[in-house]
Amino acid sequence: MTAPHVRSAFDVAFWFLDQALNHNEYLQPQKVQRLLYLAQGYYAVAYSGQALMPAVFVAEEMGPVEPNVFMAFSRGRPDIDLDMVLPQQVEMFLESIWRKFGHHSVDYLNRLCKETQCYQKARLKGRGRIKLADMREAFTKGDKTPGVGQVVRSKIMRSHTGRAVAVKSWLPGLKQAPGKAKSNVG
């Protein structure tokens, strides 16, 4: 397994917080936690088991938590020096997560995350660690969560002629939906 695609979970947490600010929204700490969890799980599915960020998720009673980010944000947004330039594929991926889940309430995201098999498995151990492999398996099955194809969607952009084209970052191993034609920019 290769290294995570971002340096820290803080990079992703701050990205979500900045998205909320750009939409004039307040992002509750629990919602940040659920978005981090969903991003890590879906990234593992979309990118063949790779981690988006170096993070450990723990099955707390309130839901899955990345304890380092949780503690750092316990008194508000921490003053951390980060390089906020993320790779383009990561930005596009996070935009997909934000579009799919950013508008949902904390209660909805709590229910969704707590229903995942990996959370429930870790919860049986008390405050058990949620393993990345278990996250990938749970999000692949998608019994209680949307499938990765419903989350990681194309972004509509314009070609040099002004024609609308669907673009998304390359997702190795992700099968194209039946009946969908590949689009070429040209």
pLDDT score of 100 more than 60: yes
Cβ atoms of residues 115 and 123 within 8 Å: no
pLDDT confidence tier of residue 173, bands split at 50, 70 and 90: low
In three-state secondary structure terms, 68 is helix
Report the distance separating Cα 186 and Cα 179, nearest Å.
21
101-136 per-position pLDDT tens digit: 999 999 999 999 999 999 999 999 888 999 999 999
Q: State the pLDDT at residue 145.
A: 65
Q: State the pLDDT at residue 178.
A: 45
The most confident of 31-35, 165-169, 176-180, by mean pLDDT: 31-35
pLDDT score of 185 more than 80: no
Name, in order, each residue with C-beta under 8 angstroms of 109's C-beta and a sequence gap of 6 or more. 30, 31, 34, 35, 38, 63, 101
Distance from the Cα of residue 112 to its chain's centroid: 13
21-42 per-position pLDDT tens digit: 999 999 999 999 999 999 999 9
